[in-house]
Chains A and B, each alone.
Chain A
Amino acid sequence: MIKVLNPGLATSVQDMGRHGYYHLGIPQSGGMDQLALQAANLLVGNASDAAVLEATFMGPELEFTADAVVAVTGAAMTPKVDGAEQANWESFTVKAGQVLSFDYLKGGARAYIAISGGIDVPVVLGSRSTYTLGALGGFQGRALAAGDEVPVGQGKGTAGRSLDASLRRAPGSPAEIRVLPGIYWHWVTDKSGAQFYADTWKVAPEADRIGYRFRGGHPIEFTERERPFGAGSDPSNIVDGCYPYGSIQVPGGTEPIILHRDAVSGGGYFMLGTVISADMDLIGQMQPHTPTQFVKVTMDEALQARADRTALIQRIREALA
């Protein structure tokens, strides 16, 4: 068990997600940066899909009631055991009675804290991930709060294992996010479509597990169309439909929003394309104000990027086997 002395800003239990309920409005949830989540688990000897803590922008302060092996991946915030600094992307021991805390955030956005044995909250609809909007899964369906006592499973990790820097992945600056145009791309004028990719956007403060909003580019210009029955009056409105994970909607044509792991499953805004699956992890590590370039790719390029990411995860597995 671990006692939460200070929860940080937004720390929640996440695993690799809850699949099969999106048609009822329940999104997959799970770690925003799944590569970092899996690496953290492998470092402490867990199954790669065990439940971990995802800490956003700021680390929690946790008191351990039993000895454990811990690893912190993803965002650069230095872990400390009773004040002694530890390395990121490396497993270390925390003894019963010791306190794990964090230095301030130096890079990235979300740290993954894996504990040997995994976070042992009840499995809900096939996953331990927290879906806050639906008060579902995780620790009592919500982010951690001070005073919570979080159950941890039995595990046996080894301290001192680390992951080589070449096997980590983080967004560059400016962040380049690859996009497959589609869905309602044909509603955007050619000129405006070219501008969307030419502009440098910035992550807005409204960036969370549901979606990332961007500002700073030109407004979208729409082609002339008849307004379809049932869609609503704005040129960006559609008859409410499904939203793919990673889809980019632009309500009112002004600020693009990329839906992430806690996506709203559908709604009435047009989408101009979708972030490729390989780059979803990177978005989870972007802070507000990060300059961002959207890069247009083909399906073949999207599949190649996916294969590259899968191969990277395989190399991580082999390195930590």
Chain B
Amino acid sequence: MESRYTFGGDEHVFCEVDTEMSLEAFFKSLSMTNAVRESQIRGVTEICPANASFQIKFDPDIIKPDDMLAEIKKLEVQAESAESSMDTRIVEVPVLYNDPWTHETLMRFRERHQDPSGTDLDYSARINGYDTVDDFIAAHSGSPWFVSMVGFVAGLPFLYQTVEREKQIEVPKYLRPRTDTPKLTVGYGGCFSCIYSVRGAGGYQMFGVTPMPIFDPQQQINYLRDFMIFFKPGDLVKFSPIDRDTYDAAVEAVEANEYEPKIRDVRFSLDEFNADINACNAKLEGALK
């Protein structure tokens, strides 16, 4: 894993920490962006961590691009020796899998899909070797996920599952992107799950919806009053399958502004994870019990 640096025009440094996705690459990207924030390099205007890469936007009138690059590279040694553990939080996200709204949408855009004969869940379960959709949903909701990036549109989390690589779900994106995706759709593309924060275009496979809003530009939802965006990189998520009645009750609670997401503080250690994945996940999930 060797970082590759390149310029995005005269205002961005783009760093690919690794060409492929891994928790190690994600941790390095996060510690590099934390190091840039702490070092307070003059001229930095935006610090954007991503799954296995990161981007620094800067003002070249304040610092020359080559100097900016040199300042960032200096932080590599420090970031590599940074402890691969973090104090973070785990959030339970209820999901109505196989819901009527994503079903209606995926049928509407069927000609843009690899397999027009079934649903996105049927297709994703099959190509990942699961006998039934229920088994597939059990895997998707069975282990926690890291928020490894926030972006695309406002507040949309990309999620990476904390399981062995051979157990990771991988699916292609739609052949051609849809022009519509229901708000709060739980999607999947490449090795990432996501939650669409707003209604709009999208290319990820659609598995279900959550009743829990994660973006509120009006800042009226009780848990989004302080800031309009719920997720940040480093948060952990556990999907929890719910039925239609529970979904409807949660939507009612959201509308009455009485919905409270289940959130617990946890510590995640990459070394502990690599030593015993099941024990690490059991501890994380235990915090939500």
Contact = CB atoms under 8 A, between A and B. Distances in A.
Interface of A: 19-20, 22-26, 124, 131, 133-136, 141, 180, 182-183, 185, 228-234, 237, 239-242, 244-247, 264-268, 271, 273-277, 299, 302-303, 306, 310
A247 B8 contact: yes
A73 B61 CA distance: 26
B85 interface: no
B20 A231 contact: yes
Given A24-B151, A266-B149, A229 B21 contact: yes
B interface, by DSSP: helix, strand, loop or mixed?
A: loop
B35 to A, nearest CB: 15
Contacts of A264: 151-153
Contact of A242 (B18, B55, B165, B215): B55
B189 interface: yes
Contact of B153 (A25, A185, A239, A310): A25
Contacts of B53: 239, 241-242
B23 to A, nearest CB: 11
Interface string B259-279: 000000000000000000000
Contacts of B286: none
Q: What 8 pairs between A and B have smallest CB-CB spacing?
A: A244-B8, A230-B21, A274-B9, A242-B55, A134-B154, A265-B151, A228-B20, A230-B191
Given A134-B198, A242-B55, A244-B11, A232 B189 contact: yes
Given A24-B151, A245-B9, 8 more contacts: A25-B150, A124-B217, A228-B21, A230-B51, A242-B50, A244-B55, A246-B9, A266-B149
Contacts of A229: 20-22, 165, 191
B109 interface: no
A264 to B, nearest CB: 5
B251 interface: no
22 contacts: A19-B46, A24-B150, A133-B153, A136-B228, A182-B14, A230-B52, A230-B190, A230-B192, A231-B19, A231-B190, A237-B190, A239-B18, A239-B19, A240-B152, A241-B14, A242-B55, A245-B12, A266-B48, A266-B151, A276-B9, A276-B10, A299-B7
A24 B229 contact: yes
B10 A239 contact: no
Nearest to A310: B61
A114 B229 CA distance: 32
Contact of A241 (B16, B20, B154): B16
B90 interface: no
Between A20, A24, A229, A275, the greatest number of chain B beta carbons within 10 A of the residue's beta carbon is seen for: A24
Given A22-B57, A23-B151, A240-B50, A245 B11 contact: yes
A135 B7 CA distance: 31
Contacts of B154: 24-26, 131, 133-134, 136
B10 A135 contact: no
Given A183-B14, A264-B152, A19 B45 contact: yes
Contact of B6 (A182, A232, A268, A276): A182
A148 B232 CA distance: 35
A154 B26 CA distance: 50
B217 A232 contact: no
Contacts of A265: 48, 151-153
A303 B7 CA distance: 13
A251 to B, nearest CB: 8
B8 A274 contact: yes
Interface string B224-250: 000011001100000000000000000
A212 to B, nearest CB: 15
A246 B233 CA distance: 24
B48 A23 contact: yes
A162 B229 CA distance: 43
A311 to B, nearest CB: 12
Given A136-B154, A245-B12, A274-B12, A233 B172 contact: yes
Interface string B138-172: 00000000000111111110100000010000101
A6 B53 CA distance: 45
A220 B10 CA distance: 24
Interface string B50-70: 111111010011001110000
